[in-house]
Structure 1
Amino acid sequence: MMETTFVNDARVMAKGQVTIPKNVRAALGIETGDRVTFIVDGSNVRVVNSAVYALMRFQEHMKGEAEKAGFLNEDDVADWITASRREDNTQ
């Protein structure tokens, strides 16, 4: 996602709905049907693409697990995938 700084505002409607401005949707990579996550920190609110946020949370949760499993670099992962495919083909 590109790093962009700008300010935009939107009106809150009677039912609490807000239209996310087009340039904000573009900056967040949000398209029709996508979900957004609201992160409230005191009096500040961040709106993030839910898919991106979920991936970031997953990466935080899994941090260090690859090393524990013996994957120290991309070659280790590629070797494991190759070995797994060979095992699958022999079964």
Structure 2
Amino acid sequence: MELAKITSKGQITIPIQIRKMLNLKDGDKVVFMTEGGRVIMENPTRLAVKEAQEAFEGLAEELGLKSEDDVINLVKEVRKELWEKKHADND
């Protein structure tokens, strides 16, 4: 458990162990959320990655992606299709 003091301006210093745990650096922002009557502070970048992972969960299996090579090949295919579409529109 970490303790922080609130200044008259409502500011706090986030304890070093919490900053390390959330991978926070100078200038980073934090997001505050409520959940079950509790306030949770999170690194918004980590939160966005977590939400993206949850949103895409199961999609790899649906697309038949079983390896890193499968993902690389899919990216190449999509890039090729986008390139062809872009250049077809210019004709």
Q: TM-score normalised to the size of structure 1? A: 0.70
In structure 1, what is the Cα distance between the partners aligned to 2:52 and 2:30?
17
Q: Given the alignment of the two structures, is residue 49 of structure 1 paired with residue 43 of structure 2, yes or no?
A: yes
SS of 1:55's equivalent in the other structure is helix
Q: Which moved more, 1:67-76 or 1:22-31?
A: 67-76
TM-score (norm 2): 0.70
Percent identity over the alignment is 35
Question: Which structure is richer in relative contact order (CA contacts within 8 A, separation 6 or more)?
Answer: 1
Measured on the aligned residues, the alpha-carbon RMSD in Å equals 2.5
Taking the aligned partners of 1:89 and 1:18, their CA distance within structure 2 comes to 50
> More helix per residue: 1 or 2?
2
- The whole-number CA distance in structure 1 between the counterparts of 2:34 and 2:83 is 49
Question: Structure 2: 5+ residue runs without aligned partners?
Answer: 85-91
Q: Greater Rg, structure 1 or structure 2?
A: 2
Structure 1: which 5+ runs fail to align? Answer: 1-6
